[in-house]
Chains A and B, each alone.
Chain A
Amino acid sequence: MSKKVPKKAYEQTFSYRVKRWLDGAKDPYLDVVEMKPQPEFKESRVVSEEQKEEKKHLRERIYDTEHNAELRIFRKIYHIFCVMFCVFLMFMLLTAVSYLPTVGHEDRPANNEVSERYIESGLQETGAVNIVTGMILDYRAFDTLGESHVLFVATCTVLILLRLDGKKGRNAVGMEPENDRTFEPKDDVILQTVARILVPPIVIFGIYVILCGHLGPGGGFSGGAIIGAGLILYLNAFGFAKTERFFKASTYKKLSFTALACYTFSKCYSFYTGANHIESVIPLGTPGAILSSGLILVLNICVGIVVAGTMYTFYVMFRKGAY
């Protein structure tokens, strides 16, 4: 609006009308088109409530387990069919087993050229003394990557399902939570003394199992489970106030994410080099040394971190009062 044109003159210009239309200040149909207000639809209140009651009663009649004969008969038939099906299934499985080759025999079809290859050239190709570790973290590392992700996704789902909401401490369903934190700190002398003695060896043993996964029995999964058990013992003895100093939900997420990303990228590298027949720069080392077998040690540590965090998080979420 320019200052030269007075307001009245401006109000009659086209641009003013366009501006009003744009702002929505004037309804162009109001007072122009004849309109009849629509009567609001109202269900007769009595009828709707009667219908509701009736529906409810009908439902209760249908699903009343004590008086509904049909339901009882159905349940009996279900049980009979279940038993019959289970017996039939067991009979079928046992019949199948009776035609299988003998257990512990060398000529079974499961012992074919694949396992022969793994045993005969696994040490040279992966550098791991433990052939199973060499298999799951080198030949079949994609499978193990999926496994770690399955664990991570499961933990995320449990975190979503069992979390306690907000500042009020109410959980997602709206019930007052019975929180285990209210009973802390428990001054259980026996438990605390035992934990003080046992937790460090447990964690150190877990680290040993992870680091020696390629040299002997062990690996990321078992070692991670041991470390998780140590953390759970520590939590039980000393309570949340102590464990939350170093392990929270965000810590778990960061650790897991870092470990999974590390796993994925290192495996991407080895898949890329392997598929394109490029010589990998990662040396295999002397078999039997702790720093050997290429990426397997790194992958074991990654898997161990994920598993330890998962075990601990499962425990924390399943007791009352989450992270």
Chain B
Amino acid sequence: MDLANLLSNYEEAVAMILFGIGFSNLLLQKNLIKKIIGLNIMDTAMYLFLALKGYIEGHKAPIVVDGVQSVEAYINPIPSGLVLTGIVVSVSVSALMLSLTIRLYRRYHTLDLDEITTRLKKEGL
């Protein structure tokens, strides 16, 4: 582990720590809504990481100004497009999971996943 490089890459380290926080939320929380929030934190960490991949210090956003079209002027546009894709997919997935959670809540009147699984098994499903 190269600690000096880790410190100079501290933005990416923050993204990874965020990812870990989101993942532990996803695994450890009992509440379904909190699990979904954990998944969204993971998504956000990925956006941060992707945006940092394309960032170049001192360069501007890739919108052509005054006809300047050189690599030295703009940041990398590809990760920006990938972040857009990620946002759309994350919105869809969150909406789907939340609607499933609403259905579960209507059936069991609780959001505790442990209780829901216990009751499911007691009913023999």
Listed in ascending order, the chain A residues whose CB lies under 8 Å from chain B are: 55-56, 59-60, 62-63, 65, 75, 79, 82-83, 85-87, 89-90, 93-100, 102-106, 108, 110-111, 114-116, 118-123, 129-132, 135-136, 140, 143, 147, 150-151, 153-155, 157-158, 161-162, 171, 173, 175, 216-217, 221, 287, 314, 317-318
Contact residues in A for B24 (Cβ distance below 8 Å): 82-83, 86
Encode contact with A along B14-33: 1 for CB under 8 Å, 0 otherwise: 00110110011001100000
Question: Given A59-B124, A216-B63, A135 and B118 touching (CB < 8 A)?
Answer: no
User: Which of A95, A97, A111 contacts B56, CB < 8 Å?
Assistant: A111
A100 and B102: CB pair below 8 A? no
Size range of the chain B interface in the assembly:
35 or more
User: Which of B8, B77, B114 contacts A131, CB < 8 Å?
Assistant: B77
A119 and B62: CB pair below 8 A? yes
A105 to B13, CA, bound (A): 16
Minimal beta-carbon separation of B35 from chain A (angstroms): 12
A116 to B56, CA, bound (A): 13
B96 and A132: CB pair below 8 A? no
Question: Given A130-B63, A157-B99, A65 and B81 touching (CB < 8 A)?
Answer: no
Question: Given A111-B56, A147-B85, A217 and B122 touching (CB < 8 A)?
Answer: no
Question: Given A82-B27, A158-B96, A100 and B12 touching (CB < 8 A)?
Answer: yes
Known: A119-B77, A123-B69, A175-B106. 13 other contacts (CB 8 A): A83-B28, A90-B16, A99-B5, A110-B79, A115-B54, A119-B74, A120-B70, A121-B69, A158-B95, A161-B102, A173-B107, A221-B84, A287-B64
